[in-house]
Chain A
Amino acid sequence: MVTQETTLREATVGPTRPEPTIEVTARDGGGRTTAWTVGETTAHTPLLLARPGLPLPPGHGVLLGPGEAVPTEAAGPVVVLEGGFSVSPAGDRPYPTGVWSRVTIDRARRLEGQLSLRRGRPPTSDIQIADEEYGDDETTDVTGIPEVAPVVSDEGAVAVFAEAGSAARDPAVLMPLLLEAREKTGPGRLLYAPGIGLPHQLALLVYAGVDLFDTLAVERASLDGLYLTSEGVFPAATTRFPLSGLDGLGIPAVMDPQALLAHNLAVHDRELAIVRAHLQNGTLRELVETRVRAHPASTAALRHLDLHGLDVLARKIPLTRDGHVHANTMESLSRPDVVRFRERIRNDYQPPEGADVLVLFPCSARKPYGLSRSHKVFARVIGDVQKAARIHEVIVTSPLGVVPRELENTWPAAHYDVPVTGAWDPMERAMIREQVAALLAKGGYTHVVSHLGASTHALIADFLPEGTPHTGIPHPTRYEAKDLLRAALREATRQGNAPAWPRRRLADAKALATWQFGPAAADALFAEADDTGGRPPVIRVFSGGQRGKQLAQVVPQRGLLSLTIHGAKALFAGGQAKVVEIDDFVPRGTVFAVGVKQADPGIVPGDEVVLVHDGEVRGVGPAVAPGPEMTVLKRGPCVEVRHHV
């Protein structure tokens, strides 16, 4: 049976090493909120580690250097950084009372770190491992640099990205290193990036995966006379109208150093709270895209992150969820979840079998498209066509490119908003052309009808088949256009036969499955599927007819196929299931990390996963955590069980 982890090996923090646990409470992009528990005290990340004595409201952690005394009032996390040239490693010293984590930065780390930066490639050892990890292994071969495997443990809770301070000079260097540090740190520990992070950079750095920040960058900027805001940095000397109310000091007549520091720290603290709120709201990416406008190099940093982190980040972002995507900026085109959608269309998606007449529609402001007035009109026109089961509707849009009708309820297709002006920018043009070309290249269409607006049609007209009727004139929603569309579709479907509707719905469900699971898994799932039921957009998939076994169902709220236990078994038998190995119990409700033995590292939150014990399917349901986290973490929900044996 599933049991919540209830025992903590060390109840109090004392001279012995504390036993911390990390539980992820929310995820967005590469960022997350976690509950970091030591003994009976819990702190929540992303968290600020403050140097002692700074004017900050309570609720932050404390950062100490070697030999500094733990402040008596410290009620939260205390992290001690030790080591250096003149200070002997602290390994054999007793663990200071009240300290949550102690990390030793020895000379070798400094040397390695700076050399690795110089080489301009990811360092062999970019992470300072908490001192607990040090073992004095006399048999170690020092002649070569051993391969670095991610050291994953929840004993040393804090991993330090030790080059952060130097790498941060150049976002092009920082971003790939940061991503690698995050991967090496693993989900079971907190990533601390010392010395970096001004208020306007916090959203981006959290999105990239940093859990812990300190006050050093803000203190230094204050000494440099910089006035910090969430939207950027400018010299305090030019500031005539400080933001009042933030620092509780009113408006100081002169920006004296203390007032400036207090202001900057207050802004920093507040911005981290804003980041946490957006993260929990699922809108961190939108915040990031806003904040990086502060400086061209910040915007470049986000682009570098997208460039290098596409795969890494897409593995963490849920396949489906609530909440809107606001595609406001050029970077929205390259956000990992959006790119993932487009890549799956290009690489995995197979159009429904038997639907050989392609009709291209413009997108609508209302989502899902089917609820919009324009698309209701299109639906009625299609209803006028006798062999409508041959028609495959595809919506041409930005930033998703093309959205087949059977995918219109998926995320973010059903959830995005984009500033519409009617004019496409060059990046959108290139992206749309690429997506449409990829769809046409999949073959199988005997006819194409373009019901797009004039500008969108012109964008792709050159690679549409010769003689493709353009019916969206003078405007796709005008009655003349309706008539043209009807006529063009009737003409296109005149010869040949249409599939029966149950068969077509089966094909639609399978097309969705190719996007959701990949083509091989779709084949395995639909190998014995022969009938459908339900009323679109709900489609139930059966094998052995409607009285046989139900394999899956398209659920409009998720926009995805939900598997039954039979579907899970079909996928598992075909070797195509994403499997979570569990202990010997019947899963009900939620499977927690403590019950997971092993999980497919390819699992993305929202994926349908099959719960297996000892080769036997026990249940099925959507994942709520990425696969690697299920294996590594000791706490937190992993799978919402929908069906069990």
Chain B
Amino acid sequence: MSEAMLAPKKRLVMATKEMVEAQKSCASAFTPRAETDTTQAAKVWHEDDNFGGQATKALVMVLKTRGCDWLIKSGCTMCGYFNDSFFDDVSADHIILQFENAMREHQGEDLIKIYTSGSFFDEREVPAAAYTQILKRVGETTGRLSVESQPQIMTDAQVAEAMTHLKEFEVGIGMESAHDDVLAHSVNKAFRFRQFVAGAELIHRHGARAKTYLVQKAPFLTEREAIEDTTTSILKVAPHSDVVSVNPINVQRHTLVADLYKHGAFRPPWLWSVAKVVLDASRELPDGVTLKCHPVGGGHARGAHNCGKCDKRAMKALEDYTLGRGTIRLERLFETPECGCYSRWQWELDNEGLLGAACWTDPVVW
């Protein structure tokens, strides 16, 4: 039996298995840094945020944990979070210590944001004792907390407990795409759309808020397919979300995406595409839902980028929109493109599908 004779669906299953294996081999190439002090958070910083529709100052901390359980088992193709996790034997006491040490930086910010490079509700990552203690302490200080988790892991009891301590609670869910096909064969996500819907419903039932993260341009999609994927995903997740955050994929170390990038098989999205997604989706967004987009690494080769000359203009338009200043700059971007790379981008949208299994990467002439 020749492989060529296989039906597309059969081969899709096979290729996906290969993808999972490839992703595992990327993650296993990563060695956790030795001699790390697990009583100190990985990172702590202050930032301005828009929380519940209001400009807010936030204290942000990234806690060191054993890392995302899914990442240990398999991992998503674009996720390089093991760069801040994968620590051995992080006890509940140490997590509490990390939190307390980070809280010394607290300068009266209204909001505490805790990232764990995994799921805050997963007891394998954040033991119940630490969970309770952190909630208590936030309740005593600001009462406003933002965390992240996979939706199928959190329980009714956990969210209920959180709401006894907190005034406002926001749970971020890394949904990436609303299309199960993309989740299965491009992202290698641990859950599917229906589990997201159930999780968001649980969050809302307790009066908490749901913030949904989407990616733009999962691997193996063309630029045009990625635009379609993200635009429709925004509109599919919006009814279940308070905030939708669009994250153009950036190339993170030790990921499958990084390997594809290295071999000329992945290009981060154009900022034109990101702007188009945000602009198109903003026009159909239901009331009360906030759309955000802050491209990490925007304007750089490993993040969403254009030709280099017009990147700042696009980034500024996205930033304006994210800060609630409307779509004027985004509209102007397309009304007067000015930059020569605009027609190049349009041409690639029309022609990338003809490239077979390849994608347009930044050109190399030989």
Contacts and interface: CB of A to CB of B under 8 A. Distances in A.
A148 B7 CA distance: 15
Contacts of A198: 365
B259 interface: yes
B185 interface: yes
B356 A118 contact: no
A225 B353 contact: no
Contacts of B363: 220-221, 224
A108 B365 contact: no
A142 B228 CA distance: 30
B8 A128 contact: no
Contact of A214 (B19, B181, B221, B354): B354
Contacts of B3: 124-125, 145-146, 148
Given A108-B15, A117-B263, A118-B256, A160 B356 contact: yes
A7 interface: no
Q: Does more than half of chain B's interface fall in helix, strand or loop, or is it mixed?
A: helix
Contacts of B7: 134-137, 140
Nearest to A131: B8
Contact of B355 (A165, A223, A297): A165
A85 B11 CA distance: 14
Contacts of A19: none
Contacts of A161: 356
Contacts of B351: 51, 65, 216, 219-220
Contacts of B262: 118
B356 A128 contact: yes
Contacts of A59: none
B264 A167 contact: yes
A107 B8 contact: yes
A151 B356 contact: no
A332 to B, nearest CB: 21
Nearest to A234: B365
B227 to A, nearest CB: 10
A106 interface: yes
B156 interface: no
Contact of A108 (B8, B265, B353): B8
Interface residues of B, number: 58
Interface string B1-29: 11111111111111110110010000000
Contacts of A220: 344, 347-348, 351, 360, 363
Given A140-B1, A145-B3, A109 B354 contact: no
Contact of B6 (A137, A164, A170, A301): A137
Contacts of A173: 263
Contacts of B186: 111
A223 B220 contact: no
A108 B360 contact: no
B112 to A, nearest CB: 39
Nearest to A217: B363
A171 B366 contact: yes
Residue from B11, B356, B361 having most chain A Cβ neighbours under 10 A: B356
Contact of B353 (A66, A109, A134): A66
A107 B356 contact: no
Interface string A214-256: 1010011101111000000100000000000000000000000
A50 to B, nearest CB: 12
Nearest to B26: A118
A165 B186 CA distance: 20
B356 A145 contact: no
Nearest to B226: A85
A2 B256 CA distance: 57
Given A86-B229, A224-B344, 9 more contacts: A85-B225, A89-B8, A104-B8, A106-B12, A110-B357, A111-B357, A165-B355, A223-B344, A301-B366
Interface of A: 51, 63, 65-66, 81, 83-86, 89, 104-115, 117-120, 124-125, 127-129, 133-137, 140, 142, 145-146, 148-149, 151, 160-171, 173, 194-195, 198, 201, 214, 216, 219-221, 223-226, 233, 257, 295, 297-298, 300-301
11 contacts: A83-B353, A86-B225, A110-B220, A110-B356, A112-B14, A128-B356, A140-B5, A142-B10, A195-B358, A220-B360, A225-B340
